[in-house]
Amino acid sequence: MDKKVLELEKVLKAVANRRRIAIVRYVRSHPQATLGDVSDSIKLPYKSASKHVSVLLNAEILHREQQNSNASFSIHPHSSEYVRKLISIL
């Protein structure tokens, strides 16, 4: 199967959840957000927010930056054209 189709499938599955859409929208408008920020903003338990963020990281929608013991999240700087277009309409 075409590599682009597989990539698109992975991205669409990752954002096919209202909580993950809320996370992407929050991180898009608050670059360098922490997991605590994300959890608080969308009123989701920390553990649940962590699982949703992991899905978005695996789909290369979000990017994690580790500074000492703190991690912050932003939209992946090398995201594909599909991801950039999708994020722009969320």
Calculate ∠ Cα 77-40-42, nearest 5°: 70
Q: How many CB atoms lie within 10 A of CB 23?
A: 27
In order of their start, the domains of the chain are 3-89 (1.10.10.10)
Assess contact for 39 and 74: CB atoms under 8 A.
no
Q: How many CB atoms lie within 10 A of CB 20?
A: 23
Which residue do the tokens 């580790």 mark?
66
List the chain residues with pLDDT less than 70.
1
Determine if the pTM surpasses 0.85.
yes
Q: What is the pLDDT of residues 59-82, one digit of tens each?
A: 999 999 998 888 999 999 888 877
